[in-house]
Chain A
Amino acid sequence: MTEPMIQFRDLHKSFGSNHVLRGIDLSVNKGESMVIIGGSGTGKSVLIKMVLGLLKPTSGTILVDDKDSKAGDRDAFLARFGMLFQGGALFDSMPVWQNVAFRLLRGALKRPKEEARAIAVEKLRRVGLKEWVADLYPAELSGGMQKRVGLARAIAADPEIIFFDEPTTGLDPIMAGVINKLVREIVTEMGATAMTITHDMSSVRAIADHVAMIHDGKVRWTGPIAQLDDSGDPYLDQFIHARAEGPIEAIR
């Protein structure tokens, strides 16, 4: 499958005098799991936030299914996406099941309350959480459970495209492994297109079909996961082997 689902064309983004992205060109194919890596502050999260319209590009184009991401009906556009946020971003004021079924309780995808709850419980089960968790509040959950609930919310409406922003940040290695496995399984069984932002190399190896490395505001290297260790790119080699010495300055 080589049909492009998301295309970034000469994308620039500045915050005042800070030019974070300086001409990103990248394609993510339909059904592919693309992992974006790069140092902190290189604009990886900015990239996915611009697809969703949370941030506006300074210049350049984002195409989703060959259509400009800014054109057309906004609700219909967003209904195609699911997103797992770095900190979970669960709504504190509502129980877990209402977080998961948020989209199914209002708007165009609204379902009867019982049906929405049943779907939420099913999605929670899919991410390894039992039914009793559904009635807890996010503040009552551990970090790992919150990530799983965030994951369940991201997949609740069966989106075509899923974004994962640092899915394993702040988790112990075992829980990180569980989340990586879940992400990979869910993307495969749903046939969704996935973009994951991470600097956790175990996540990269568990989740990615393709990898892109962003450095200095541009795509430094992109290719299939199988070529990651033989890229011959000194920047990528330094990053994936976590070396302090190399072309990437440690102090930025």
Chain B
Amino acid sequence: MANPMNPFQVFLAPIGRSTLSLLAAIGRIAIYMAETLSHIVRPPFYFREFLHQLMVIGYFSLPVVGLTAVFTGAALALQIFEGGSRFNAESVVPSIVAIGMVRELGPVLGGLMVAGRVASSVAAELGTMRVTEQIDALVTLSTHPMKYLTVPRVLAATLAMPVLVAVGDSIGIFGGFLVGTSRLGLNPAAYLHNTVDFLNSWDVVSGLIKASVFGFIVALMGCYHGMNSGRGAQGVGRATTNAVVSASVLILTTNYLMTEAFFSS
């Protein structure tokens, strides 16, 4: 006869179950990531699919990233001006807007917006393909789903995100410039001068590296949850939610870790 659990064990049991479940999920995602990386370097490579995904993930995400960036840059300029005016440091607006956008806000907000747009659509698309046996059909047509579906999406997102974020950074800085010069009365030439003077190449490169990692995470999470979607509409819905949530959490976590690695010294 099994020993009944004491109250302390009853309290610990669900925590233990959740921890084991979390570790198992991390393990499955790690294996999926390793498989994806191994398929990237092995032929065949579906170049047309890759180009198609570059368009879908990269080009069509431009409006949402651009809009996010322009309003973020504009709000940042207002905040820094108001904060800086408390100790007569209004002139730091251009440099802090530029550094803030390029190092942190551009990649992170761009990544989160793309996570909302791309991870959800990839998970929903692949989840529906799983439920309607289209992924099984691919296998019977001698086409590896990982190579045909996952690799082009992951590669496209990894390469497109830095470009998207570079464009977003420029638009964000321009948003700050517009507010700074039209609303806050800063001199346009001095604004541009301060922006360029205070930015160094590592600020830009580190932001683009972050963007690339975030692109990889977004597509990987979309594909992983889509490919492992449960049955029916509820299964696809859950896969879509999980893809966005896990991509967002991983973006914020890896952002902190990369910031530590890049700038803590």
Name A89's contact: one of B136, B142, B143 (CB within 8 Å).
B136
> Across the interface, do B141 and A103 meet the contact criterion of CB distance under 8 Å?
yes
B134 interfacial contact with A, CB 8 Å = yes
> Across the interface, do A89 and B139 meet the contact criterion of CB distance under 8 Å?
no
Question: Could you tell me the distance between the alpha carbons of A92 and B132 in the complex, rounded to whole angstroms?
Answer: 10
> Across the interface, do A78 and B134 meet the contact criterion of CB distance under 8 Å?
no
> Across the interface, do B44 and A89 meet the contact criterion of CB distance under 8 Å?
no
Residues A75 and B142 in contact in the complex (CB < 8 Å), given A106-B44, A106-B46, A107-B44: yes
Question: Could you tell me the distance between the alpha carbons of A90 and B142 in the complex, rounded to whole angstroms?
Answer: 15
The interface bits of chain A over 58-87 (1 if a CB of B lies within 8 angstroms of the residue's CB, else 0) are 000000000000000011001101110111
Question: Could you tell me the distance between the alpha carbons of A107 and B133 in the complex, rounded to whole angstroms?
Answer: 21
The interface bits of chain A over 85-103 (1 if a CB of B lies within 8 angstroms of the residue's CB, else 0) are 1110111100000000011
Who on chain B is nearest to A83 by CB? B140
Q: Could you say which interface size class chain B belongs to?
A: 10 to 19
B 127-160 contacts with A by CB, 8 A: 129, 132-134, 136-137, 139-143
What's the minimum C-beta distance from A49 to chain B, rounded to whole angstroms? 7
Residues A89 and B132 in contact in the complex (CB < 8 Å), given A102-B141, A106-B143: yes
Question: Could you tell me the distance between the alpha carbons of A54 and B134 in the complex, rounded to whole angstroms?
Answer: 12
What's the minimum C-beta distance from B35 to chain A, rounded to whole angstroms? 16
Question: Could you tell me the distance between the alpha carbons of A52 and B143 in the complex, rounded to whole angstroms?
Answer: 13
Residue picked from B46, B142, B143, most chain A C-beta under 10 Å: B142
Name B137's contact: one of A74, A91, A108 (CB within 8 Å).
A91
Question: Could you tell me the distance between the alpha carbons of A86 and B132 in the complex, rounded to whole angstroms?
Answer: 9
> Across the interface, do B134 and A89 meet the contact criterion of CB distance under 8 Å?
yes
Question: Could you tell me the distance between the alpha carbons of A55 and B141 in the complex, rounded to whole angstroms?
Answer: 16
> Across the interface, do A54 and B136 meet the contact criterion of CB distance under 8 Å?
yes
> Across the interface, do A91 and B134 meet the contact criterion of CB distance under 8 Å?
yes
Residue picked from A85, A87, A89, most chain B C-beta under 10 Å: A89
Residue picked from B44, B46, B133, B141, most chain A C-beta under 10 Å: B141
Name A78's contact: one of B44, B46, B133, B142 (CB within 8 Å).
B142
B 110-140 contacts with A by CB, 8 A: 129, 132-134, 136-137, 139-140
The interface bits of chain A over 31-51 (1 if a CB of B lies within 8 angstroms of the residue's CB, else 0) are 000000000000000000100
Q: Report A-chain residues with C-beta under 8 Å of the C-beta of B137.
A: 83, 85, 89-91
Residues A86 and B133 in contact in the complex (CB < 8 Å), given A106-B46, A107-B44: yes
Name B139's contact: one of A78, A91, A102, A109 (CB within 8 Å).
A78
B 201-241 contacts with A by CB, 8 A: none
Q: Report B-chain residues with C-beta under 8 Å of the C-beta of A81.
A: 140
Question: Could you tell me the distance between the alpha carbons of A153 and B140 in the complex, rounded to whole angstroms?
Answer: 11
Q: Report B-chain residues with C-beta under 8 Å of the C-beta of A107.
A: 44, 142-143
Who on chain B is nearest to A49 by CB? B136
Q: Report A-chain residues with C-beta under 8 Å of the C-beta of B142.
A: 74-75, 78-79, 103, 107-109
Question: Could you tell me the distance between the alpha carbons of A153 and B143 in the complex, rounded to whole angstroms?
Answer: 14
What's the minimum C-beta distance from B189 to chain A, rounded to whole angstroms? 50
Question: Could you tell me the distance between the alpha carbons of A89 and B132 in the complex, rounded to whole angstroms?
Answer: 6
The interface bits of chain B over 58-80 (1 if a CB of A lies within 8 angstroms of the residue's CB, else 0) are 00000000000000000000000
> Across the interface, do A85 and B143 meet the contact criterion of CB distance under 8 Å?
no
Residues A78 and B132 in contact in the complex (CB < 8 Å), given A106-B44, A106-B46: no
Q: Report B-chain residues with C-beta under 8 Å of the C-beta of A90.
A: 134, 137
What's the minimum C-beta distance from A221 to chain B, rounded to whole angstroms? 29
A224 interfacial contact with B, CB 8 Å = no
Q: Report A-chain residues with C-beta under 8 Å of the C-beta of B141.
A: 78, 102-103, 153
Return 11 A-B CB contacts under 8 Å, by A number: A54-B136, A75-B142, A82-B140, A83-B137, A85-B133, A85-B137, A89-B134, A89-B137, A90-B134, A103-B141, A108-B142
5 closest residue pairs by CB, A with B: A89-B137, A89-B133, A78-B142, A83-B140, A85-B133
